[in-house]
Structures are given as C-alpha cells and as structure tokens.
Structure 1
C-alpha cells in the first residue's frame, strides 16, 4: 500500500514538473499539441514556460485546442502578448472579472474567430476601445459602448467589393470595407479586446436559399444574445424572421456559433467548405424560440400587421401561379433594413407567400432587382389592415 502511494506521488510530481503551474487536465492535450507542432515546438514551449502563474492556464488552453495550422506557425511572443492583454483587460474592468473562467478562456482569450489570417489585433483594439468602456458599470453597458462606436472608430463599412469574405481586422481597416463575416470578426475582436465574451454566429444558407449571413453573439448574465456590427438592441435585427425559420437538423440551414474549444461539429464556411478546424455549436433552437416570442408579442400587441409580397414576371401577368417568380426582396423603413426574404416561385403552393410583420401607420420600401438588373424601390404605405403587394420584374 505504501509503495503504491509513493509511486502515485512520484507520478504527480513528474506531471507537475513537466508543466509547472498548469492544471493537470491540460497535460495530455499539451503533449499531443506540442508533438503536432513539429519544428515550432520551441516557440510554444517558450510561451508556456514564460507565462506568469495567472496566465499559465490561458496559454495552456490555447495551445491545447489551437488548430494544426497555428501549432506549426504561432510565435511564442505573439501568443504571450495576446494572453497578457486579455488578462490585463479582465483585471482592469470589474464587469470583466465577473465572467466565468470557462467563458473567458473560450470566448475572450482566443486570437481568432474563424479561419481568417492570423493578425495581432488585440493591442491596437485594446488601446482603441478601452476608453469607451472605462466608465461602464455593467457588462451590458460595455457591450453597447463598443457596438455604438466601432464603425466610427475603425471606419469600415459593408461592401461586396471587399477583397475576400474572411478578412482579418487589419485587412478590413486597410480597405475600409468588409463582408458580413469581416464585420463580425471586427466586432468580436473589439469586444474581446476589453474583456467582453463574443463569438461569431451565422448560417450557411437561409431557409429560402438566399445565401449565407454571419453576425455576432455576446455573453451577458449567463446567456448568449445576438447583435451586429451596425447596432440594434440585443436579440433584435432585420434577420430575426429568417433565423426563426432555420432548420436545426439541416447543417446548411441551421444556425451555428463558433467555438475555440472542439465541439465535435465545425462552422460551415461558405467560402471553403473543406475547412473543418473551426469548432461550432448548433444554436438554432434559441433563434426559433426568440422569433416565436417576438412574433406572438407583435400579434398580441395589435400594433403590427402582415405585409405579404408576391413577385410576377411582368405587369400583364399577375394572376396565375405559373406567372410567379422567385426573387430576393429586402424591406426598409427609412434607412433601416427590417427584413428580407425570397418570394415564392411558380411551383410553390399559392399559400406560400413572403410575409413581413410590419408596424402600422408607417411607410416601407421594398427593394429588389428587376429583369434588367436595375435596383427597384417600391414604396408601400401601411395603415391599420394587413397589406398584400404584387411586384413585377
């Protein structure tokens, strides 16, 4: 019995000596990661050995779960700088200290969100965004402060002329433009730079096959909420009705949230479906629940009515099912987009109609491309009753 105890003690001492200050749950993971890193092993080992006691677990977490591409290329100094600044922000702001370790490690500490080219953004963003949150009393106030000011701070706007969809912060700032994915990476990194948990969420394809969209989620008081680069209130955006029709059982039509730690699933990257190293969580059900709650509230409140939209081939043929055309339509109230969707085509049931819930006594604009590729804006005045609109190409 005594010999068994001594052997166990010796094994524990060996493990501690191998990775001093690192929780034992990472030891086997570190062994595997360092072996995979090949010739880059000295860089990662240096970061692990040089980390302060407080930072040890953070460095170990990142090395343990980083994809192979980073294991083979990440410089020790870059890794240490990222971790040091993340802990500095956490210690500086009271609301950042309240974030649980598991959330901090997975959703504040990481140096990247998707497959973007790795970029040392944290020092620049920490300097930029710390002043905006310095006087915030709560995590929610801090989220709103970053969201409100990010566009004017980095001067980047949505533009399909951007160089690529998966841009890192420096690429987007250099061009002054980004895709929805690039904007989401910008916002997520800005939030993380000041200790706010954030991750990317999105779908590879909306339910009506209009294409993909990505946005951000933030963690607050034990729950995840969605937001976007162009701010709105939490869990409210133009795409909510689309998200409310997502399919949790269909990988392409489900809604996913990114993770750094492996989950057994991968985030569907529409620009390269072969990339499988970005972990993800299927969060579709939460969006279905939020949409139903909002939809039922709007119906019960009496201030909203349905606006139904159909698209036809031309003005002369707007009666028969065969004359209908599937086309993308976006709806705006003033300058704000409040929704989007795809009209039903000729083979769909006549009851299958694109529908928006709109507020009474307001003017809306339905935007779409006509058969010549010209952008058309159709004005619709909504009063007290439901509205049905027939558009034509």
Structure 2
C-alpha cells in the first residue's frame, strides 16, 4: 500500500508572498501531488518485470521533478539577492545625489550671503557720500568743476556696482532655494530607496531560509529514490546517480550552448556578467585570493604550473573570478559559473559564499569534461559565443 502523499511545501508560493511580486513560469517543475513509492511498493514491483519497469519510470520522473524544482528554487533565491543589490545601488546613488545637491545649495547660500554683505557695504558708502541727494548738493556747491566731476563719477560707479551686485545676490538666493528644494527631494528619495533595500534584503534572507529547507528535504527524498531505483534495477544507488549525472551533462552542454547564443543575440555579456547578493557573509574571497586558492589545488589534480594561465583566462572570461558572479539569464553562478548553480552543493553546502568550494567543483567539472584547464580554455575559445 502506498504511503500518504509527501508534498513539497510549495516554497515558491512562500517566496512570492515574502516579496509580494509574481514569479513567472516557476510552477512547471514544482512537485505538489506526487506519491513517493514505499519500499513495499518497490519489492512488489520487482516480482513483475513490467511492474518493475513502470515503477522505475515513475521514480525517474519524480527525480526529474525534484531536481528541476530544486534548481528553480535556488535560482529564485539568487534573483531576490539581485533585487537587493539593485535596490542598494539605487539607494547609494540617491544618497550621493542628495549630498551633492546639499553641498551646492550650501555654497549658493554662502554666495548669496556674501553678495548681500557687499551690497550693504557699498550702500553704506553711498549713504555716507549722500547718494543721489548728495549729487544734487554737489551741483549746487561752490566746488570747482574738476572735483565735482570726480565725485559724481565715483558715485555713478558705486550705484552701478550696487545694482549689479543686488541682482547677483537675488539670483544666488533663488539658486540656493532651488538647490535646497532639490536636495530635500533627494533625501526623501534616498529614504524611500533605503526602505526598498531593507525590504529586498529581508525578502532575500527569507527566501534563502525557505529554499534551503526545501532543497534539503528534496535531497533526502532524492537519496531515497535513488536507492529504490537501484533496488528495482539490481544495481547500486551510486551507479544510478552516476548514470543520471552523465545524462544530465549531455543535456547541460546543449543548454549551455543555447544560453550563450541567446546572450550573444541580445548583445549581453558572456556568463557571469552580473553580481549577486552573498547571503550572511561580511566578506568573500577577492579574485586574486580565489586564484591563489586554485593554484594551490592544481597539484592534487595532477596538473602543473603550465595550467595556471589557461585556468586564469578561462574563469576571467566566465566570471572575472568573482565568487558572487551571477548570470540572471541562465542562473549560472560563481567563479566556474556552475549551471544550475546548486550543483556546487555536491562539494559543500557553503557553495554560495566559499571560493574553495566553487573552485573544487569547477576543477572537478574541468577534469571530467575536458581533462585539463588548457583543454577547457581551448574549447572555450573555439566556440562562438564562448562557453565551456
């Protein structure tokens, strides 16, 4: 008798609720009503060849669904991280704009105040000399004509200068007022974007927690299903998983080529063109540090120093050696641009943040698919658009 249906918890729906945005096209791979076979079912199926084959096909289909769902969930988490980075960038840009406008407003206000003081000084000089009324008095006085003309000329220049400076003061004051209004608006925008960044971060962390829990559960189901499939076929779980991995690699090669072609058609950068949020990590290895980690591992694969340059160039082209390099088109992630990203969990669960975990996975991939980094680099160069 079959066990009660073990339902995947619908984490995609949970993520949707967390971020309040629809996730398009993610439900196709989600397992929601599949009945996982019990060991009694497996043993019963073994008694009949046709039933055994049908049960094996059922288990294979469940494995496909589990793996597709885990991949989709992981990519959605990385996308939420990308949204956080974008919100943070916009917040920082708004802060820079607000600071610049405030500095300009302060400078304009200082100019206005300085000009007003100069106008006041000149006005005082005019007052002391009698201003326009003083000119009338001079015309009626008995001073000689040369002195009269000199004093009239001085007052005329002062009056002209006062008028021009008064206009400049008004202009500076108006400019200061306008810049202050812009600065105030920029502060409001900064605060709004800061809120967006905080919300995006909370959503990304919540998505991470929910996805990690679900993927762990799916992995446990997957381990059981591999064992059941091996029992039906009188093989071992390791053999069954190795076979499925081999088939997946064939499909992956075709998919990598398709993704690269689409990216090129959109004039996008090659894989690894973006950066993604690194969850709960204050710091990650720099590209230079990651390269040193890789150089230290080459010997364990039987590769010499002649492979260093090829590896450096290969992963510069893929990710720039950035731990958090993320391709939003395909979901490829990390220094080696693992696709799907969660494949690197086969090395360790810290694949999102740990350069060594990513590098070990990448070197394993290169060894199994191409033999050496230089062979992989040569193949990468021979393909247009590039991929490996």
Bin of the TM-score, shorter chain as denominator length: under 0.3
Q: Which has the higher helix share?
A: 2
TM-score normalised per structure 2: 0.21
- Decide which structure has greater strand share: 1
Q: So what's the TM-score if we normalise by structure 1?
A: 0.21
Q: Which protein has the larger Cα radius of gyration, Structure 1 or Structure 2?
A: 2
Q: Looking at both structures, which has the greater relative contact order when contacts are Cα pairs under 8 Å and sequence separation is at least 6?
A: 2
